[in-house]
Structure 1
Amino acid sequence: MTRNGRRLLLAVLVLALAPGACATQESDSPDSPSATTTTTTPTRTFAAPVGDPPQQGRGTKIPVRWDPCVEIPDSTVSAAGFAPDTRERSDAINYDYAFIGCQFERQEDVRGQMLGTGLMFVSSANIGLEQIREREDEEEFTVNGRAGVFYRDRPAEACLVAFPGPDGVVHISVSSSIALTDWNACDHIDGIAGAIEPLVPK
């Protein structure tokens, strides 16, 4: 799966979960009184710093404030098997829903070339678990005592979990390319979720 295809995964999920939302991203002006901005203050140094998240939609009632791009340290990314210097913002904004998130690439030597063989998305969203349950063929899932859901996106070769977070849910998607690696994302989703969950305020 291409990098661009993976980056579209999060936006597709937003649209699937919000049938009444607009199909295009909102572009509120900075001086709009109804625009919402994530206000998390970075407290860590990263191998690949990222910019501020986009402003959230005019219809946002619960702003997303927990920003994985500045809350997940490089050490956690490395321990999960991904490259900290690939940290990249991956947000999806709709009129009233927002996924504020980050993506990280897994890199391996494939026939003498360093290639991306997997991808991890982590996002905080102002939706509820019930909206995921309505849309996905999910299973109940518990990470460090926090109850959530697990489901698969087979075309994207991805496994996904979602559990309650400070803004609604925290959503973790891990994918791998079976054409390039023996590393299977779904075999590692429990450990990855378990490493990220303690970073998420209750």
Structure 2
Amino acid sequence: MLVTAGLVVVGVTGCASGETSSVGTTTTVASALWNPCTEIPDEMLRAAGVDPASEEKGVGGHDQSGWEICGWDGREYSLTVYATDKEVAEFEQKPGNVDFRDVTIAGRPGREFRVAGASKELDCDVVFPTAQGVVQLQVLNRASLDDLTDPCVTIARVGENLVPTFPK
């Protein structure tokens, strides 16, 4: 599965999510991020046009500190869902993220964008604010196929099935 084209992982410093730090007698533990691999039901993935058995956690099977990432493959596109404690503004300020616009999917407001570069016309992303940060939904069309639907049209359609599972 090709998920790197639209990956918008923002650099972080300090403790990663899930790490424990202690100073004196005070201990803090970051709350666990929502996990799309365990929280999105298989029937919703099938309705979104992807195969639940193709699940890939992380990027290339590797976890990313401060993120929960899960992707699935379909015939015409791959679908990836990211959860992080980052804010929408960090996505808007990241160089290479372009063409932001407000959208509403499944009754929920979000910010749609593209990632500049060779795959710009193949990729569409939407970030939805949550209490923890954001959940990002990404559709990446298969470059090897012709006459594909605009990925931003596809993301709106598949989002109708998936967005209701996202945390608020």
1:102 counterpart = 2:70? yes
- Pick the aligned partner of 2:147 from 157, 182, 188: 182
Distance 2:89 2:137 in 1: 16
Superposition TM-score, scaled by structure 1 size = 0.64
The aligned runs of 1:63-142 (5 Å cut-off) are 63-90=31-58, 92-94=63-65, 98-107=66-75, 117-135=76-94, 136-137=97-98, 138-142=100-104
User: Percent identity between the aligned chains?
Assistant: 25
Superposition TM-score, scaled by structure 2 size = 0.75
**What's the RMSD between the two structures over aligned residues?**
2.9
Correspondence for 1:143: 105
Quote the offset at 1:145 in angstroms.
3.1
Distance 1:105 1:79 in 2: 13
What is the SS of the residue equivalent to 1:122?
strand
The aligned runs of 1:32-43 (5 Å cut-off) are 33-34=20-21
| Count of matched residue positions in the alignment of Structure 1 and Structure 2 | 152
Deviation digits for residues 14-35 of structure 1 (CA, Å, limit 9, x no counterpart): 1xx33x549xxx7x9x9x743x
Higher helix share: 1
Quote the offset at 1:166 in angstroms.
3.8
What is the SS of the residue equivalent to 1:193?
helix
Quote the offset at 1:61 in angstroms.
7.8
* Alignment check: 8 A CA contact 1:141 1:150 kept: yes
* Alignment check: 8 A CA contact 1:7 1:90 kept: no
* Alignment check: 8 A CA contact 2:48 2:162 kept: no
What stretches of structure 2 of length at least 5 have no aligned partner? 22-27
Q: List 4+ stretches of structure 1 deviating above 4 A.
A: none
* Alignment check: 8 A CA contact 1:64 1:167 kept: no
What stretches of structure 1 of length at least 5 have no aligned partner? 35-59, 108-116
Quote the offset at 1:175 in angstroms.
0.7
Q: Classify 1:13/1:83 alpha carbon distance in 2 versus 1 (closer, same or farther; 3 Å).
A: same
What is the SS of the residue equivalent to 2:8?
helix
